């Protein structure tokens, strides 16, 4: 919650500063996500570490978190988008074939409690192409991942934690498809946004599809909008160095997002 408040203050400061500049458009939005996990992770010696399925072995539940973002659309210069998107998955599962995760090493079946958490901070710079009704966007993003994968063996009360902190440059692509609904009153937008990078066996894919209903020209505010859509995030790492050990994973998180916001 503290990180959400700090991120909100930072985003609001950027938006407020931009509003004082003529010919600058701005967006401020808050959303809610419900994402389900799938895939696997393992931590330690790649040849001996246990490959743990996020659902079948760790029994992770859905992440339900609030996120925020702000956009400043500048004349001539690229638009700026700042986003804070957290997720956290917890669960308790039974490992029937033994467990080796970092320094945790148990040959007998055991029960574990897992906490998988990531805070994502994204800063994107992009240009819009002046195409009627469809506005393509292209640019660059920097994603800062700050999180961990923590597993506790319940019978022995022993915990192992892999801290993962990565600044990641990414390609940014998007498009906004606008359909007039009621002239000068409302319209519908379909927004597609994607970020991606892949190198040396690692890759990160971040996609969001959103349908928005917009109410235009609200006095003293600007425009209001509400949207629902789909979020897909995949992180694949191959022998990533974490705490002098190797972290391997192919994790996918996907599900519902909903948001409301203001356009200034």
Topology at the third CATH level for domain 2-263: Lipocalin (2.40.128)
Q: Give this prediction's pTM.
A: 0.87
The tokens describing 116, both together, are 């998988």
**Integer angstrom CA distances of residue 230 from 17, 173, 208, 258, 259:** 31, 16, 6, 8, 11
Question: Is residue 183 packed enough to be buried (19+ CB in 10 Å), middle (13-18) or exposed (0-12)?
Answer: exposed
The tokens describing 65, both together, are 């978190």
Cα–Cα distance for residue pair 68/1, rounded to 1 Å: 12
Cα–Cα distance for residue pair 45/49, rounded to 1 Å: 5
Show me where the domains of the chain are located. 2-263
Q: Look at residue 213 and tell me whether its pLDDT is greater than 50.
A: yes
- Tell me if residue 6 falls in helix, strand or coil: helix
pLDDT in tens, 219-257: 666 788 999 999 999 999 999 999 889 999 999 999 999
The dihedral through the CA atoms of 192, 197, 198, 203 has a sign that is: negative
With vertex at residue 213, the alpha carbon angle to CA 176 and CA 15, rounded to the nearest 5 degrees, is 70
pLDDT in tens, 158-208: 999 999 998 999 999 999 998 876 666 568 889 999 999 998 889 999 999
pLDDT in tens, 113-146: 999 999 999 999 999 988 877 889 999 999 999 9
Q: Look at residue 75 and tell me whether its pLDDT is greater than 90.
A: no
Q: Are 263 and 222 in contact (CB under 8 A)?
A: yes
pLDDT in tens, 28-44: 999 999 999 999 999 99
């Amino acid at each position: 919650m503290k990180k959400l408040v700090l991120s909100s203050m930072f985003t609001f400061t950027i938006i407020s500063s931009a509003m004082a500049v003529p010919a600058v458009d701005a967006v401020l939005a808050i959303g809610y996500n419900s994402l389900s996990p799938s895939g696997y992770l393992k931590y330690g010696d790649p040849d001996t570490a246990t490959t743990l399925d996020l659902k079948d072995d760790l029994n992770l539940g859905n992440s339900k978190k609030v996120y925020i973002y702000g956009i400043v659309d500048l004349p001539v210069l690229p638009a700026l988008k700042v986003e804070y998107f957290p997720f956290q998955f917890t669960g308790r599962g039974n490992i029937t074939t033994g467990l080796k995760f970092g320094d945790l090493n148990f040959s007998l079946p055991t029960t574990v409690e897992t906490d998988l958490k990531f805070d994502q901070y994204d800063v994107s710079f992009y240009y819009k192409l002046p195409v009627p009704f469809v506005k393509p966007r292209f640019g660059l993003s920097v994603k800062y991942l700050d999180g961990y994968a923590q597993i506790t063996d319940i019978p022995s009360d022993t915990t192992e934690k892999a801290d993962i902190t990565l600044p990641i440059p990414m390609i940014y692509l998007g498009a906004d498809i606008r359909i007039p609904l009621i002239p000068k009153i409302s319209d519908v937008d379909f927004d597609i946004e994607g970020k991606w990078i892949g190198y040396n066996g690692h890759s990160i894919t971040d996609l969001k599809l959103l349908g928005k209903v917009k109410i235009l020209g609200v006095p003293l505010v600007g425009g209001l909008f509400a949207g629902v859509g789909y979020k897909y995030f995949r992180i694949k790492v191959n022998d990533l160095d974490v705490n002098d050990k190797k972290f391997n994973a192919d994790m996918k998180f996907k599900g519902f997002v909903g948001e409301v916001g203001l356009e200034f």
